[in-house]
Amino acid sequence: MADAMGRDQDAVAKFVESFAAQLVEAGMQRMPARVFAALLSSDEGVMTSSELGEQLKISPAAVSGAVRYLSQVHMVSREREPGSRRERYRVRGDQWYEALTNRDAIIRRWEDALREGVSSLGADTPAGRRMAETLAFFEFIEGELAEMMERWRTHRQKLFGD
């Protein structure tokens, strides 16, 4: 069956499940992965809870839990439908950028905890050295991520404008 844009709905559903499976394999929970893939594959990038539930054949509670998780990791945003109390959920083209950028705060918290670990364990102990190496890795990643994101902004501007 084709949709309004002439796409095969079965092929779209197959893509959603296939991409969601890849996200699950990478560590995302199954329901958030399915909801994210459905939003990503929608032309508007926006769907209501009932639309998601209908497309994915899942309960409103499953949609709610998935959206809560995706909001927390900055992969979707919630917004009110104009003139309604219903919420709709949006995925943007830059959601990966936002999700990675917001990981910066998590990495800094891990760095603080690791510094405390090095101090508590002693920098000259085997555990302290292992902790210090882990800290150095996250400090390196944090610096590289910031530079990479700046390069991405420039590259994205060239490819897509605004």
- At 14-35, the pLDDT tens digits run 999 999 999 999 999 999 999 9
What's the maximum distance between 2 C-alpha atoms anywhere in the chain?
Answer: 66
* 40, 19 contact by CB (below 8 A): yes
**What is the CA angle 149-158-23, rounded to 5?**
50
Q: What is the pLDDT of residue 96?
A: 75
Q: What is the pLDDT of residue 121?
A: 93
Mean pLDDT of 136-150: 90
Residue 159 tokens read as 């490819």
Q: What is the pLDDT of residue 24?
A: 95
pTM: 0.73
- Supply the Cα-derived Rg of the chain in whole angstroms: 20
